[in-house]
């Protein structure tokens, strides 16, 4: 039974909002999933807390328990997206395995048609929302550092060309991956399994050691 304040004269007891029942992390994840769905379908501007609550099957009050306002919700959504990048990098970092990294990147791209539509809108609106911009800047910098370390390890092992600095290769490869994510929602037929394999082979060819250099 909810806690109540003393009843005002002639009025009903005023309920105080308590913590919603259930698993906190699971409910946050459900709300973030609903927010991504609304943004992907209706656009960032129309992704109100009320719409997100309806999509998740919650009341607006339940959503505001976890996220006080839209700014908190979208920054948490951006964080969750970069968490997926970090999870994608980890196994590749352990083995300095660029092929594995891009297999996972393309699997994420083709396995989640909402991924890039949501990220592209978050990136666009970050220009006008400092809190969101700060999260994206920090998390992308972390991603770039880890990506660079994977490439540096490959260069040290002689499996990746070393005539181009690893941080520049990281920028170029990330731009290619972003391009795949951008195009997949519009041209999914370009990403059938055989072509995905060909794209990965092309990446490996581009970063392979050049004959006659120290990395060959």
pLDDT in tens, 93-126: 888 899 999 999 999 888 888 888 899 999 999 9
Which phi and psi angles does 4 have, rounded to 5°?
-130, 155
- Report how far apart, in Å, the C-alpha atoms of 206 and of each of 60, 98, 186, 200 are: 50, 12, 26, 10
Average pLDDT over residues 64-80: 96
Query: What is the per-residue pLDDT for 213?
Result: 63
Is pLDDT above 70 for 9? no
**Residues 42-63: what's their mean pLDDT?**
95
Please report the domains of the chain, with CATH numbers, ordered by start residue: 18-68 (1.10.10.60), 70-207 (1.10.357.10)
What is the dihedral angle through the alpha carbons of 180, 55, 83, 119, rounded to the nearest 10 degrees?
Answer: 30
Per-residue pLDDT, 116: 86
Q: Give how far the C-alpha of residue 142 lies from the chain's centroid of Cα atoms, to the nearest Å.
A: 13
The region of weakest confidence among 2-6, 124-128, 180-184 is 2-6
How confident is the model at residue 3, as a pLDDT?
Answer: 40
Average pLDDT, the chain: 87
Q: Which residue has the higher pLDDT, 161 or 22?
A: 161
pLDDT band at residue 214 under the 50/70/90 scheme: low
């Amino acid at each position: 039974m909810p806690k109540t304040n003393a009843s005002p004269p002639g009025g009903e007891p005023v309920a105080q909002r308590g913590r919603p029942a259930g698993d906190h992390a699971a409910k946050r994840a459900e709300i973030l999933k609903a927010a991504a769905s609304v943004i992907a379908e209706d656009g960032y501007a129309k992704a109100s807390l009320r719409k997100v609550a309806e999509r998740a099957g919650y009341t607006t009050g339940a959503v505001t328990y976890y996220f006080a306002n839209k700014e908190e919700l979208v920054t948490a959504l951006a964080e969750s997206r970069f968490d997926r990048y970090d999870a994608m990098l980890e196994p590749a970092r352990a083995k300095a395995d660029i092929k594995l990294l891009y297999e996972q990147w393309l699997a994420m791209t083709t396995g989640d048609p909402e991924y890039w539509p949501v990220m592209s809108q978050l990136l666009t609106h970050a220009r006008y929302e400092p809190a969101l911009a700060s999260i994206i800047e920090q998390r992308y910098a972390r991603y770039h550092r880890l990506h660079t370390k994977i490439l540096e390890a490959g260069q040290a092992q002689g499996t990746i060309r070393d005539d181009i600095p690893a941080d520049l290769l990281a920028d170029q490869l990330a731009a290619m991956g972003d391009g795949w994510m951008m195009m997949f929602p519009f041209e999914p037929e370009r990403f059938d399994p055989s072509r995905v394999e060909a794209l990965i082979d092309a990446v490996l060819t581009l970063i392979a050691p050049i004959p006659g250099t120290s990395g060959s």
